[in-house]
Structure 1
Amino acid sequence: MAVINPNATLTFTVRRCAPELIVPAKPTPRELKPLSDIDDQERFRLQIPDIFIYQRDPKMVNKNPASVIREALAKLLVFYYPLAGRLKEGPAGKLMVDCSGKGVLFIEAEADVTVDQFGDPLGPPFPCMEELLYDVPGTGGIVDSPVLLIQVTRLLCGGFIFATRLNHTMCDAVGLVQFLSGLGEIARGATSPSVLPVWQRELLCSSDRPPMTFTRQVGYTKDDMVHKSLFFTKTDISAFRRLVPTHLQSCSTFEVLTACLWRCRTIALEPNPKEEMPILWPVNARKMFNPPLPVGYYGNVLAFPAAISTAQDLCNKPLGYALELMKKAKSDATKERIKSVSDLMAFKGQLHFTAIRRYNVADLTHVGFNTVDFGWGKPVYGGAARTRVGVSFYVPYTNNKGESRTVIPVCFPSGVTMDRFVEELNNMLAQAKNDMEHELPAPSKL
């Protein structure tokens, strides 16, 4: 396992054009579209940043990626016209989209830096991120603000960085990748996206919506937080599996890594031994519905299985204990078809824990962020731009030698806690690799 704070000392200058609003290329319906009961929950009322880094392509040297993407965006918004609207809040806080066609916020920029200068491996926190995704004053709200911000930054080497900030109430990760894949298809010459968007948010609206309450996130200033990225190789993951009991060997890579992180994070936080430490992870529930939701639905459709353990049990019992808790939670969430929005919302739970104790992890390795192609090929990095305390994303990454890695950005409110966390992970990995070496057969004698 490598622990990287990628090129934290790298500095460069970004020159931006004035932000502009990209509107649909053709007239679109002016209407009011309510969000679903899933979309407008409080936990989705936030902005999610993602970043995609592209190398130079000799075939595209005469193309300006910002111009290509700007033109494609206007064409795609004819199909995804709600994303060009603005959110309004109705009775009882219900969110709805005013499909006004005001547009998506777009910034063209250039930076005096190359892709190679960002280093290898690539992962959050990226240097000068606030310049690569400029927070246009007055546009970061949930209502009456652009629901999508895009910045395309050309680099000295001929590559570029595509960064987005999305209002999470409009899409989940699957929906965002569907949109970006369509943007890539049109940028490469298609006249329409291969998967047509489906709104139909009324499918996830219910008259018997259960009451939901939430605990506000604990506030930390930017200076309080310590960010790093963990890079796990296939060898690391194989080693961790040596710590898994035989009857759990069928568990997924995500489950193994998450159980390790959950345990080590708890040790690092040093909570009261009796305190409960929950872990939650989103599951794409599109196919769990009976009947399944239509192909092209791009709203939030997430079930949230949750496993809970006291700190002392999680820290003192073998890794298999954490794995069994996770597998049971996952089984409970998927053993029956979801028949209504109330069924889905029940999986979100009413867990009243502070943000620092609760751990949210999201597996983005199979969503498709690393396949978005605007004509310059696949990104060398595609996925989460940053994380926050109590949240981690799993991002696929292939280094410049063609070696696959799983990148996991982590964030703690202090450097001391981060150091303990990394130390615990390295100790666990060393133990696992030591077990592997002792199980190797002795070399045959000549």
Structure 2
Amino acid sequence: MATPSNSSPLAFTVRRCEPELVIPAKPTPHEYKLLSDIDDQESLRFQIPVIQFYQYDPSMQGKDPAKVIREALKQTLVFYYPFAGRLREGANGKLMVDCTSEGVLFIEADADVTLEQFGDALQPPFPCFDELLYDVPGSAGMINCPLLLIQVTRLKCGGFIFAIRLNHVMSDAAGIKQFMSTVGEMARGLVTTSIPPVWERHLLDARDPPRVTFTHHEYDEVEAHISTQLPDNLVQRSFFFGSYEVQALRRLLPPHLRQCSKFELLTACLWRCRTIAVNPDPDEEVRMLCLANTRSKFNPPLPSGYYGNAFVFPAAITTARKLCQNPLGYAVELVKQAKARVTEEYVKSVAGLMVIRGKRLHFPAVIGSYLISDVTKSGFEDIDFGWGKAVFGGPAKGIGVISFFIRANYMKGEVGTLVPICLPAPVMERFAKELDNILKGQPKWEGKSFLISSAM
């Protein structure tokens, strides 16, 4: 198993042009568009970064990726004009987009580094990431701020890096990938998008009157003690799971569970190892929240061009003692049960909860909670601006208690799942050790008494 270091010795200089606002190439409607009751929940009111690395392509000699992408962005915003607007907040905290055509932030930059210098295994945390996606002062707020920030950084080798920061209330992974794919289509010379964007956020609104028909442990109010608060001094480290690691974990399961999905298997393993590393009170409740795309759960399915947030994150909940004393199959069963609850009715129940209890509900951002989002099938690496597919594409980092499953080519060309983890440094060391133990078939607490009882 690959367990790269927390930091990279690679350092380089980035020269940036002044940030500019890119507006749609043609006039677009000036109107207000309401976000859905799923979109504007407190849990999604944050910024999320995505990064793409591209190699030099001799066929594109003489073409500037920053200029090509800037022009393509103007064309794309004609179709996706809400992105060029600004958020406003209405009654009861309801968010809406004022389609003002003010534009999205765009930065053109150059770095004195080659793609090869990043190494064989592109993975979070990326060196000098804050220089590859510069946080323009005052740009990261919710209200009256640009909804997208894009930076194109040219590399010495002729390759480039495309980085984008999204206000999450606007789109999920599938939605922003759809937007980025359209930028790619425009950059390659198309004049219209292959998948027309669909707003229709009312499809994920609560019913009238709103009803809550499930118990939603993902929004439980967890009292934050000093022992459960998420520290500020987190380190990040990425872990790679190829065929060897996946098969090693499957061998730990009873026969009736060995056909579980890779997502269920890896989620169960990471949740269990992370809990052991965090070292909570054995009787403390711990949660795993698995993000589930619900587009296909609706009857009829959501329109293919829908680019809003169309996911929920059902929770598996147990005590630290049960999770860590039981075999890995116990955690797999809990993950499977959480996923099985996701239906169209479940989504409507979440939307109803947002309306009845207020949109300020948030998943518990405490160290005993762990949220996993699988973007391995989102296709970020397939986005082509004319220079071919990305050699790495996906979320740029884990965020607090959130990890992403990212499809990645690792050293020696193996395709597998890359998982960025954020933890305090001493906890990270325990996590890495426990993960190594379980992959060797020697999980530390398998079949033994649960001895860890002190707070972290």
Deviation of 1:384 (Å): 1.2
**After superposition, what is the alpha-carbon deviation per residue over 1:356-407, rounded to whole angstroms, capped at 9, x for unaligned?**
1110001010011111111111111111111122111000111364321211
**How many residue pairs are counted as aligned between the two chains?**
428
Q: Pairwise CA RMSD of aligned residues?
A: 2.2
| Residue in 1 that maps onto 2:245 | 236
* 2:430 alignment partner, one of 420, 425, 434: 420
**Partner letter of residue 16 of structure 1?**
R
**What is the identity percentage for the equivalent residue pairs of Structure 1 and Structure 2?**
54
d(CA) in 1 for partners of 2:365, 2:98: 34
d(CA) in 2 for partners of 1:95, 1:333: 25
**Partner letter of residue 345 of structure 2?**
I
Tell me, yes or no, if the aligned pair for 1:86 and 1:99 is still in contact at 8 Å. Answer: yes
| Residue in 2 that maps onto 1:268 | 277
Deviation of 1:93 (Å): 0.8
d(CA) in 2 for partners of 1:61, 1:178: 27
**After superposition, what is the alpha-carbon deviation per residue over 1:294-317, rounded to whole angstroms, capped at 9, x for unaligned?**
120100111222111100111110
Alignment partner of 1:61 is 2:71: no
| Residue in 2 that maps onto 1:18 | 18
d(CA) in 1 for partners of 2:6, 2:367: 24
| Residue in 1 that maps onto 2:316 | 307
**After superposition, what is the alpha-carbon deviation per residue over 1:88-145, rounded to whole angstroms, capped at 9, x for unaligned?**
0111111000000000100000000011111121111101111000000011101100
Equivalent position SS for 2:340? helix
d(CA) in 2 for partners of 1:406, 1:429: 15
* 1:387 alignment partner, one of 385, 391, 398: 398
Tell me, yes or no, if the aligned pair for 1:83 and 1:148 is still in contact at 8 Å. Answer: yes
**After superposition, what is the alpha-carbon deviation per residue over 1:49-90, rounded to whole angstroms, capped at 9, x for unaligned?**
110011111111211000000000000100000000000011
Tell me, yes or no, if the aligned pair for 2:6 and 2:235 is still in contact at 8 Å. Answer: no
d(CA) in 2 for partners of 1:116, 1:359: 34
Structure 2: 5+ residue stretches without partners: 444-456
* 1:402 alignment partner, one of 413, 427, 437: 413
Deviation of 1:214 (Å): 7.0
**After superposition, what is the alpha-carbon deviation per residue over 1:143-169, rounded to whole angstroms, capped at 9, x for unaligned?**
100000000000001100000100000
Tell me, yes or no, if the aligned pair for 2:35 and 2:95 is still in contact at 8 Å. Answer: yes
Alignment partner of 1:258 is 2:267: yes
Query: Which has the larger displacement, 234-243 or 210-219?
Result: 210-219
Tell me, yes or no, if the aligned pair for 1:290 and 1:338 is still in contact at 8 Å. Answer: no
Residues 314-393 of structure 1: pairs in structure 2 closer than 5 A: 314-334=323-343, 337-338=344-345, 341-342=348-349, 353-393=364-404
d(CA) in 2 for partners of 1:236, 1:8: 24
**Partner letter of residue 390 of structure 1?**
V
Query: Which has the larger displacement, 290-299 or 125-134?
Result: 290-299
Equivalent position SS for 1:254? helix
Structure 2 CA distance for partners of 1:42 and 1:340, relative to 1, 3 Å: closer
d(CA) in 1 for partners of 2:365, 2:47: 20
Deviation of 1:193 (Å): 1.1
| Residue in 1 that maps onto 2:96 | 96
Tell me, yes or no, if the aligned pair for 1:208 and 1:342 is still in contact at 8 Å. Answer: no
| Residue in 1 that maps onto 2:453 | none
Structure 2 CA distance for partners of 1:353 and 1:104, relative to 1, 3 Å: closer
**Partner letter of residue 122 of structure 2?**
L
d(CA) in 1 for partners of 2:100, 2:33: 11
**Partner letter of residue 300 of structure 1?**
N
| Residue in 2 that maps onto 1:208 | 209
Alignment partner of 1:180 is 2:187: no
Structure 2 CA distance for partners of 1:179 and 1:251, relative to 1, 3 Å: same
d(CA) in 2 for partners of 1:380, 1:354: 32
**After superposition, what is the alpha-carbon deviation per residue over 1:235-264, rounded to whole angstroms, capped at 9, x for unaligned?**
111111100110011101111111110110
Q: TM-score, normalised by structure 2?
A: 0.89
Deviation of 1:432 (Å): 7.1
d(CA) in 2 for partners of 1:193, 1:289: 24
**Partner letter of residue 301 of structure 2?**
P
d(CA) in 2 for partners of 1:237, 1:18: 46
Equivalent position SS for 2:30? coil
Tell me, yes or no, if the aligned pair for 1:304 and 1:347 is still in contact at 8 Å. Answer: no
Alignment partner of 1:161 is 2:155: no
Structure 2 CA distance for partners of 1:166 and 1:210, relative to 1, 3 Å: farther
| Residue in 2 that maps onto 1:107 | 107
Deviation of 1:215 (Å): 5.4
Deviation of 1:291 (Å): 2.3
d(CA) in 1 for partners of 2:442, 2:256: 18
| Residue in 1 that maps onto 2:39 | 39
Tell me, yes or no, if the aligned pair for 1:42 and 1:214 is still in contact at 8 Å. Answer: no
Deviation of 1:341 (Å): 3.0
d(CA) in 1 for partners of 2:237, 2:352: 32
**After superposition, what is the alpha-carbon deviation per residue over 1:413-443, rounded to whole angstroms, capped at 9, x for unaligned?**
x21100000000000111279xxxxxxxxxx
**After superposition, what is the alpha-carbon deviation per residue over 1:246-285, rounded to whole angstroms, capped at 9, x for unaligned?**
0011101111111110110000000000011110111111
Equivalent position SS for 2:345? coil
d(CA) in 2 for partners of 1:352, 1:73: 34
Structure 2 CA distance for partners of 1:110 and 1:311, relative to 1, 3 Å: same
d(CA) in 2 for partners of 1:237, 1:39: 34
